[in-house]
Homo-oligomer: A and B are copies of this chain.
């Protein structure tokens, strides 16, 4: 499958999921500061990786789209709820080319909308009973419970590092953090849940953990690279926003491990300054240092190694399945993840 075909399929699965989200958001008051806002981030149009992976994994394992639809809706609602709270936590200014929810409304409203969205995301899981029976419904519930707790643990690590102004992290620390913060909910559990649904609970979902980890890590690193060097219009976040936010990316961790002692001191001071007091010129200097010490090249290379490992895992664990469009879709998406420019 080529990339345009993959994108078109991703778009289709995303549109089906968005329709599902609309169906699960009640048509009632209060609209103005609650229910309308729940649809705001989903309507801006995300990439839809998580529902796409879940549905494709279901179909590649012999299931049908409609069997995975409620689970896909839950994944995408949880993802958007995470984004709303993450934007408040990181004090981010833009999301998908528009002001973040707390900037467009208020922090208080944004926190509450995220809370409601987390709550609403449970209901499609409940509805799974109609499609999957009690036993599989319960397994999927526990999968979702796990992905939520892993993400919050990963978020706690990342926030804690910033709070303590940690400047001596290793690549291993970073990979452990994104395994928790990103990989479980973005790749591992979408693929696991799709496979469980498609195989009617027969498959051992643990066989996908390495695939999802490599894939998710490649994805996150690529995402962080695009934040640094992508074009604003294509990417939808402020350029270099991660440097302004003091986010512990692989590039920053790599730079801190390679730079001179004076530069280390300068970066640590910068990161120790409250966000609003940070100087754009200093942020730019850090970006230049990342180029100078080839930290961005290093991250690109790491992302490509990880994607290679993901492909190997894919061939190991998907090769016994009969060829299908959805199997090819997952293969293409793995390669795309490290080459995408938005």
Contacts and interface: CB of A to CB of B under 8 A. Distances in A.
A132 interface: no
A39 to B, nearest CB: 14
Contacts of A141: 126
A156 B33 contact: yes
A320 interface: no
A112 B114 CA distance: 11
A157 B114 CA distance: 15
A258 to B, nearest CB: 27
A295 B114 CA distance: 35
A145 interface: yes
Interface in A114-171: 114-116, 118-120, 122-123, 126, 134, 141-142, 145, 148-149, 152-153, 155-157, 159-160, 162-163
Copies of this chain, whole number: 2
A115 B152 contact: yes
A134 B113 CA distance: 31
A89 B107 CA distance: 7
Interface in A71-94: 85, 88-90
A226 to B, nearest CB: 23
Category for how many chain A residues contact B: 35 or more
Contacts of A106: 159, 163
B109 A88 contact: no
B134 A111 contact: no
B88 A152 contact: no
Contacts of A119: 118, 145, 148-149, 152
Contacts of A126: 141-142, 145
Interface string A52-74: 00000000000000000000000
